Amino acid sequence: MVTGDNTLLPADRALLAQLRELTAAEAEMPDDVALAAKAAQGWGNIDAELAALVQEPVLTRGDGTAYSFAVAGREIRVEVEPVGYRRRRLNVVLREAGADPAGVDVRVQRGDGEELAVATDHFGERSVEVGLGPVRVLAGFAAGPVTTGWFTI
């Protein structure tokens, strides 16, 4: 492939030119594909309303933090407590105007897409343990599903 004087042979130059042409074509995304991808991103969970963070995260007694999200008469409060090295317990409190949120299905989605069910204990409290990283809460309220924005624990 390379001669003694460190120059490329003509066949090698032709091969490199073909490879350069192929990789340049692969590196460019067609505009219509990019537009379709951006449009599809908004439809990922179209049925759920996005709850807005209603106040900055609040430090609680001890090492915990609390987040509050709200949308149209529904509220999700997430209290974060350390439970070990790089593990956190999320305690989820739901409120829904004019309804009892006791039977609401609650899940936590991690940054890698894995969804964890938030179990209700015999006191009616909902909690789940997760590793550090971005998470969001998905709740199936009677008035419609709600998804919080992503937050990092």
Share of the chain above pLDDT 90, in %: 34
Q: Give the Cα separation of 139 and 147 in Å (integer).
A: 6
Position 86 in a domain: yes
In this prediction, residue 51 has a pLDDT band, given cuts at 50, 70 and 90, of: confident
Domain assignment of residue 3, yes or no: no
Whether 27 and 56 map to the same domain: the answer is no
Q: Which of 119, 123, 85 is nearest to 104 (CA)?
A: 119
Residues 90 and 108 in one domain: yes
pLDDT at 72: 86
Range of the domain at 26: 10-41
| Per-residue confidence band for 46, with pLDDT thresholds at 50, 70 and 90 | low
Is there a single domain that holds both residue 55 and residue 90? yes
Q: Which residues contact 48 (CB under 8 A, 6 or more apart)?
A: 138, 144, 145, 146, 147
The CB density around residue 79, as the number of other CB atoms within 10 Å, is 17
Compute the mean pLDDT over every residue in the chain, rounded to the nearest whole number: 82
Do 86 and 15 share a structural domain? no
Residue 106 sits in the same domain as residue 131: yes
Rounded to an integer, the average pLDDT of 135-142 is 92
Count up the domains in the chain and report the number.
2
- What pLDDT shows up at residue 24? 76
For residues 69 and 37, membership in a common domain is answered with: no
**Are 139 and 66 within one domain?**
yes
What's the pLDDT at 125? 87
